[in-house]
Chains A and B, each alone.
Chain A
Amino acid sequence: MAFQILLNFSLAFLWMFLSANYSANGFLIGFILGAIALVIMRRFFKSRLYIGRVWAIIALTFLFLKELILANIAVLKVVLKPKLDMQPAFFKYETALTEEWELTLLSSLITLTPGTVVVHISDDNKYLYVHAIDAADIDETIASIRDSFEKAILEVSRT
């Protein structure tokens, strides 16, 4: 990924020298033309095009913001309910992620989502122990984490 971005920058500079236009505008045009060249030449790269990965990161950011707002509305409801009838639970969540940065990201995302806080990560990085504030249905909570966040993170890290 880093190599492709560097290549795109080099192509942009090459374009600036070719057109003798040393301004931000010239750089931008060169960058766009370089990106088009990378798209055309994509079958010579071993890994995925970096543009798709950048797009996945943007999608993940928006997912994060959406979940943060939903989480707070959920906590608001629990706190302001006249009767405290929530059912807290600690449950185990098996993850398919292996890299440490992915696990850190997943933990942050889970902590900021509706009613879940990561309490402990097992030593072999396989299980997350999550505390849910209102877990009437634990399997459903697990499935929703797996479908939304883990998928989005895997989309970013896929080569």
Chain B
Amino acid sequence: MTILANILIVFFIAVGVLFIVVTAIGLFRLPDLYTRAHAASKSATLGVMCVLIGVFLHFWLIEGHFNARILLGILFIFITGPVGGHIMSRSSYIAGVKPWSGTTHDDLKEEIHRMKKEQGIK
């Protein structure tokens, strides 16, 4: 039983660390802000969630202590992670950060242009 629990804990923490490492590599390698926001908002969310699940299982199965605060933390990260990615991309687009030259298709340009004209922002 302890072995099974340990395998589960090691699995979750290892997967979480792997995703966090991929986030860091993505932040270095990807060409522009918007693609980096992908790496930052998805992989980091799941990575931290996996590490927290591992910690929760360790304290529950090995130490016999049920910590509900970790579960709440998982829930809050789950809710706030994607919103952070959205707000970062949106505010940078409105502030005028240019997308990467390899971007094939851009519907957003006209919309933001129209919105700025309507609200009198140059």
Contact = CB atoms under 8 A, between A and B. Distances in A.
Interface of B is mostly: helix
A123 interface: yes
Interface string B86-108: 10011001000001101111111
A119 B34 contact: yes
Nearest to B82: A111
B38 interface: yes
B107 A129 contact: yes
B52 to A, nearest CB: 14
Interface of A: 68-69, 71-72, 75-76, 78-80, 84, 86-92, 107-108, 111-112, 115, 117-120, 122-123, 127, 129, 131, 133, 135, 138
Interface of A is mostly: mixed
A87 to B, nearest CB: 5
A120 B108 contact: yes
B37 A90 contact: no
A108 B104 contact: no
A72 B43 contact: yes
B42 A72 contact: yes
Contacts of B32: 88
B42 A107 contact: no
B46 A69 contact: yes
